[in-house]
């Protein structure tokens, strides 16, 4: 008698496309993403007294510091927008991008122990970082919304139709951090020095981004260079939509979108290429 043919429940194949994000496979592991998100949330505030209150404390103290240093002492322009709201918007957006970038950049080096024991789509890890930080962003956004409503009642802000672009802007930031983070995570498997360079570079990058100043405050070549920063269009669109102030234009946001998707494609190629052999170098 012929034995019944066996059917495998899982097949791991060597063939793959460099541009394939394997989103269908990632969706099958959605429960694992949830576990990673929960792990990141719990580990962030384990053995702390204030716990999730740090979601509010961090942006509040940072905003107050910027208000004193850049708003009162340096007297930087905010395009007529309320200073505390202007700085809070910048801090909130920057915190989300920077934490996503630094988190995704350590995908391979920081999870080598797990990757070496069990198979799952490696993209699960950076995606879980983006989602867990999105939860933090949501809490900080509620703080921003409360203060924004106060200034709206006082008629000190004039929101417009671009306020509806907020979800798109958040997605762009997440994709930018994901793409750039995948590039660094792949490179740091062989060049560990890039970890220190990234931490230093992120700190400098904040001052090249309109977090504490509007683009309208820049002159000459500095203003032209600002348009090549993918975050410029995102930050200016957000502030223009919610505060009604800023030097925003559609081509600026369009340029940011094009650059971000290019970096995402480049990051996908590098990530997929390194994924097969990174255990030999980590």
What CA–CA distances, in Å, run from 199 to 98, 202, 226, 243, 257?
10, 5, 21, 31, 24
**Where do the structural domains in the chain lie, given as residue ranges?**
23-27+51-280
Query: Smallest Cα–Cα separation from 98: which of 8, 252, 202?
Result: 202
Question: Is there a contact between 159 and 241 (Cβ–Cβ < 8 Å)?
Answer: yes
Question: pLDDT digit string (tens) for 143-163?
Answer: 999 999 999 999 899 999 999
Question: pLDDT digit string (tens) for 6-32?
Answer: 666 655 555 555 555 566 777 787 888
Question: pLDDT digit string (tens) for 210-234?
Answer: 999 999 888 888 888 888 899 999 9
pLDDT at residue number 49: 60
pLDDT at residue number 196: 76
pLDDT band at 111 (very low <50, low <70, confident <90, very high): low
pLDDT at residue number 18: 53
% of the chain beyond a pLDDT of 70: 82
pLDDT at residue number 26: 75
pLDDT band at 38 (very low <50, low <70, confident <90, very high): confident
Q: What's the predicted TM-score (pTM) here? A: 0.84
Report the pLDDT averaged over residues 101-123.
73
Question: Is there a contact between 212 and 202 (Cβ–Cβ < 8 Å)?
Answer: no
Question: Is there a contact between 88 and 144 (Cβ–Cβ < 8 Å)?
Answer: yes
pLDDT at residue number 279: 47
Question: Is there a contact between 265 and 190 (Cβ–Cβ < 8 Å)?
Answer: no
Q: H or E segment at 33?
A: helix 30-45
């Amino acid at each position: 008698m012929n034995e019944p043919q066996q059917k495998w429940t899982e097949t791991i194949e060597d063939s793959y496309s460099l541009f394939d994000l394997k989103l269908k496979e990632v969706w099958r592991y959605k429960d694992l993403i949830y576990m990673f998100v929960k792990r990141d949330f719990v580990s962030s505030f384990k053995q702390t007294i204030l716990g999730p209150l740090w979601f509010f404390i961090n942006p509040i103290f940072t905003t107050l510091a910027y208000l004193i240093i850049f708003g009162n002492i340096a007297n930087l322009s905010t395009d007529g927008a309320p200073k505390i709201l202007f700085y809070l918007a910048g801090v909130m957006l920057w915190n989300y991008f920077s934490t996503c970038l630094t988190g995704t950049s350590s995908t391979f080096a920081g999870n080598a122990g797990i990757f070496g024991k069990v198979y799952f789509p490696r993209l699960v890890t950076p995606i879980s970082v983006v989602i867990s930080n999105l939860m933090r962003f949501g809490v900080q956004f509620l703080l921003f919304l409360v203060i924004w409503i106060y200034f709206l009642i006082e008629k000190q802000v004039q929101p417009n139709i671009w306020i509806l672009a907020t979800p798109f802007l958040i997605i762009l930031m997440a994709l930018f951090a994901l793409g750039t983070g995948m590039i660094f995570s792949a490179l740091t498997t062989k060049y560990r020095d890039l970890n220190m360079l990234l931490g230093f570079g992120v700190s400098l990058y904040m001052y090249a981004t309109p977090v504490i100043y509007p683009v309208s405050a820049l002159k000459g070549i500095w203003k032209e260079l600002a348009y090549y920063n993918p975050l410029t269009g995102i930050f200016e669109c957000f502030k223009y939509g919610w505060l009604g102030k800023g030097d925003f234009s559609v081509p600026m946001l369009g340029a940011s979108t094009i650059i971000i998707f290019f970096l995402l494609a480049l990051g996908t190629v590098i990530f997929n290429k390194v994924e097969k052999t990174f255990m030999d170098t980590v």
